[in-house]
Amino acid sequence: MKKLIIFSLLGALSLSSIAQTSDVNTGTATVTVTPKKDVFLAQHRYAMQSDEFYKFKRAYELSNGSTVSLYNRGSLMYAKLDGGIPERIVATSGNTFFSTKSDLKLKINLLDNGDAIGEAYIPTKIARN
């Protein structure tokens, strides 16, 4: 029963993010659904412990020449691009992080030799700060 209530609530929330356009000449409609970030983060949050995050705390050089640094203040985790404004991040898996305020996304795979590989999506508004 609890699952049904949660799915109903999520369904109602998702309806608020639907935009619809139609073409009168062809009778077709285009519907764009934008997921709510808060709902995504709430559903996919990973409870990363501070000792687990410790291995990610450092600066990473990105392929575009920028540097992103990960650090924490207490139990809160942050990412900072090129010394800019810190972005609070949350873990969504053991190696994936999302910003709570922007669309910043980081996936970091740590290698046995101390190097790291991964992916970074950095929104334009962060890159300009």
Q: Tell me: the pLDDT tens digits for 60-90?
A: 999 989 999 999 999 999 999 998 999 999 9
Give the tokens for residue 124: 């334009």
Q: Is the pTM of this model over 0.75?
A: no
pLDDT score of 41 more than 70? no
72 DSSP β-pair partners: 77
In the chain the domains, ranked by start, together with CATH numbers, are: 2-35 (no CATH), 43-127 (2.40.128)
- Sheet of 76-81, strand order: 59-61, 67-73, 76-81, 87-91, 96-99, 105-110, 116-121
The answer to whether residues 66 and 82 touch, using CB atoms and an 8 Å cutoff, is yes
Task: Report how far residue 55's alpha carbon sits from residue 53's, in angstroms, rounded to the nearest whole number.
Answer: 5
At 54 the pLDDT is: 96
At 128 the pLDDT is: 53
The answer to whether residues 39 and 30 touch, using CB atoms and an 8 Å cutoff, is no
